[in-house]
Structure 1
Amino acid sequence: MKEKMAKKFNGFVLIVLLVICAGLGVYGMEADIPALGIPFMVLAALLVIGALTGITVVQPNQSVVITFFGRYMGTIRESGLWAVIPFSHRQKVSLRVRNFNSATLKVNDVDGNPIEISAVVVFKVVNPTKAVFDVDSYMEFVEIQSETALRHVASRYPYDNFEEVGFSLRANSDEIAQELAVELQARLSLSGVEVLEARLTHLAYSTEIASVMLQRQQASAILSARQKIVEGAVGMVEMAIRQLSEDGIVELDEERKAAMVNNLMVAIVSERGASPVINAGSLY
């Protein structure tokens, strides 16, 4: 369906003509002038029928789609009081921005892990003609297609990327939201709807695996922390030995270097504070 502007004229003009014709008709009947009273009374009656069946009020950010006995007559977008063809069907369509909160869906991510996910979609109708004629109910169409697109996007990515390669639902929420909005726009363009924004509002592992995946996340965090500690400890030991050698504080052979490296690594990497043993020298 291609949108076209409906033929209309100011509704206040129709009301003023109705009042004038009714007044002249009443005056003619009371003055016993049938040639004046009867035509204006008939015209006033016709204007009343036209006003009752053809006047419509259009609010700001609202449109009215007009059909006449099954034929599309056009769309009104300008706000105000308008008079259109009598006995026409006038369907109002809001052009305001709306939110749709999807239900919490249970889907499998790309790794097969069951997750719970939901999203909010911000949209508005930009083509009321398509919204009325190309789909049965554009609100229901938005709801179903939003949940379908959310399931499709969620199934293409892992919940969490432990290898830190590629996107994940948890770590790349902005990229996932952008892809969801693009896919939604492709699906909803048929209904004359424009997607303004799509964001994830809930993301979690399903209850049956939540505890196990939490342990996996904790283990991954511990391993990552240990790796950082070891890398820092090696750098500190290397710097200490090099500084001792450059300043000539002490000459260390390979055996003593190995012992110092061992002691420093234990002291730095250990989870508990090291207890130093002071060597006061030998009696002999």
Structure 2
Amino acid sequence: MDGLREKQAWRLNGFLGILIIAILLAGAVFSILEQRFVIGGILIVLAITLASGITLVQPNQSVVVMFLGKYMGTIRQEGIALTIPFTVRRTISLRVRNFNSNRLKVNDVNGNPIEIAAVIVFKVVDAAKAVFDVDQYEKFVEIQSETAIRTVATKYPYDSYENNDLSLRGNADEVSQELLVELQERLKVAGVEVIEARLTHLAYSTEIAQAMLQRQQASAIIAARKQIVDGAVGMAEDAIQRLEKEGIVDLDEERKVAMINNLLVSIVSDNGAQPVINTGSLYQ
């Protein structure tokens, strides 16, 4: 359901309206002095009626005009304006604003409790929707923002060491973009445009922070070891192929295995390898 759409309210240049009111008041005074009290009274009533329609619109604000419970339109032009008399007018800010969410405690896709927060940059683009389609659009933005943050946070793990897996910590830009799309879908009913959505806080919950830090360190060590082993195997393979290609040595299968074992141990070891020099036997 689209609801109301913003339309332009009837307006007249405010300075021209003030001039008309002044002329009516001058005519009323003149009529009273001439003892034409009925005409003077009518002119006073007309002046008061028009004066009730004088409104002031600040820059980057809009005024929603309502008459007897009916939406008459919106005034966006800044300055003094004369609009429909005896109307109820509500001012809506069109300025860009920030909303900093609270630190929310949610579970990621793996069920780990995390703390997450975001900043939402938004502005009202349809004042009629902001006033009539939702109740207190500022509060609506806050609640829907926190709901969207929770929804997006539960789709991804906090961290991942697989290159093809998205994570909250490793893919902040992609997660922020998805949060923006999710928010825009939720807030369009309120006539609000989301300009930017960005994560400002992301951490494991305090009760599991220490345990998850140890797990994170262990995962990092395993990932690093895997990369080192892959590199070591490639280096050993290249070394043997080069030795055989250049004819430096002729290795049988047993010596190849021993050489590969020595190379892997020296490359993968945390400590520097200590070479042992074979100088031959005393009894030959």
- The amino acid across from 1:50 in the alignment is L
2:116 is paired with a residue whose SS is strand
Q: Is 1:258 the counterpart of 2:257 in the alignment? A: yes
How far off its partner does 1:131 sit? 0.8
Letter matched to residue 150 of structure 1? I
Residue 208 of structure 1 aligns to a residue whose secondary structure is coil
The answer to whether the Cα contact below 8 Å between 1:100 and 1:143 also exists between their aligned partners in 2 is: yes
Write out per-residue CA displacement over residues 52-111 of structure 1, whole angstroms, 9 at most, x where no aligned residue.
x22111122211011123222221112221112222211001112221111110011122
Q: Give me the whole-angstrom Cα distance separating, in 2, the residues matched to 1:257 and 1:197.
A: 60
What is residue 273 of structure 2 aligned with on the other side? 274
Separation of aligned partners in 2, 1:183 and 1:258:
57
Aligned partner letter, 1:184: L
1:4 offset after TM fit, Å?
2.6
Question: Aligned residue for 1:219?
Answer: 218
Q: Give the Cα–Cα distance (whole angstroms) in 2 for the partners of residues 253 and 246 of structure 1.
A: 14
The 1:163/1:247 distance shift into structure 2, 3 A limit, reads closer
What secondary structure, in the 3-state scheme, does the structure 2 residue paired with 1:207 have?
coil
Structure 1 segments unaligned to the other structure (5+ residues): none
Does the 8 Å CA contact 2:54/2:81 hold for their aligned counterparts? yes
Q: Report the alpha carbon displacement of residue 2 of structure 1 after superposing the two structures with TM.
A: 3.3
1:81-100 equivalences in 2 (<5 Å): 81-100=80-99
| Distance in 1 separating the partners of 2:169 and 2:13 | 55
Cα shift readout 1:123-171 (whole Å, capped 9, x = no counterpart):
1111111111111100011111111111122122222234555422222
- The aligned amino acid for 2:186 is R
Asked if structure 2 preserves the Cα contact closer than 8 Å seen for 1:107 and 1:115, the reply is yes
Equivalent residues of 1:100, 1:120 under 8 A apart: yes
1:5 to 1, 4, 8: 8
CA distance in 2, matches of 1:235, 1:72: 74
Secondary structure of 1:213's aligned partner: helix
TM-score by length of 2: 0.88
Any conservation in 1 of the 2:93–2:124 contact (CA below 8 Å)?
yes
Partner of 2:230: 231
Contact 1:18 1:44 in 2 (8 A): no
CA contact (8 A) 2:118 2:197 kept: yes
CA drift at 1:11: 1.3
Aligned to 2:248: 249
Name which of structure 1's ranges 136-145 and 257-266 shifts more when overlaid on structure 2: 257-266
For the Cα contact (< 8 Å) 1:21–1:41, is it kept in 2? no
User: Please, what TM-score do these two structures have when normalized by structure 1?
Assistant: 0.88
1:1-284 residue pairs with structure 2 within 5 A? 1-23=4-26, 33-35=34-36, 39=39, 43-44=43-44, 46-48=46-48, 50-51=50-51, 53-283=52-282, 284=284
| Compared CA separation, residues 75 and 199, structure 1 to 2 (3 A) | same
How many corresponding residue pairs? 280
Offset of residue 173 of structure 1: 2.0
Q: Is the 1:22–1:41 contact (alpha carbons within 8 Å) kept by the matching residues of 2?
A: no
Q: Work out the CA distance in 2 between the residues paired with 1:161 and 1:266.
A: 29
Give identity over the alignment, percent.
61
Deviations 1:24-66 (A, max 9, x none): 555677xx6445x984686256425532x22111122211011
Letter in 2 for 1:63: S
Query: RMSD of the alignment, in Å?
Result: 2.4
Distance 1:275 1:171 in 2: 39
Give 3-state SS (helix, strand or coil) of 1:244's partner.
Answer: helix
CA contact (8 A) 1:132 1:138 kept: yes
Q: Is the 8 A contact 1:54 1:87 kept in 2?
A: yes
**Could you tell me which amino acid in structure 1 is paired with residue 109 of structure 2?**
V
Cα distance in 1 between the residues matched to 2:30 and 2:105: 74
- Structure 2, unmatched stretches of 5+, are none
Write the letter of the residue equivalent to 1:235.
Answer: G
Residue pair 1:120, 1:198 contacting (<8 A) in 2 also: yes
Q: 1:65 to 1:242 in 2, by over 3 A?
A: same
Question: Per the alignment, in what secondary structure is the counterpart of residue 199 of structure 1?
Answer: strand
Query: Aligned partners of 1:73, 1:259: CA distance in 2, in Å?
Result: 90
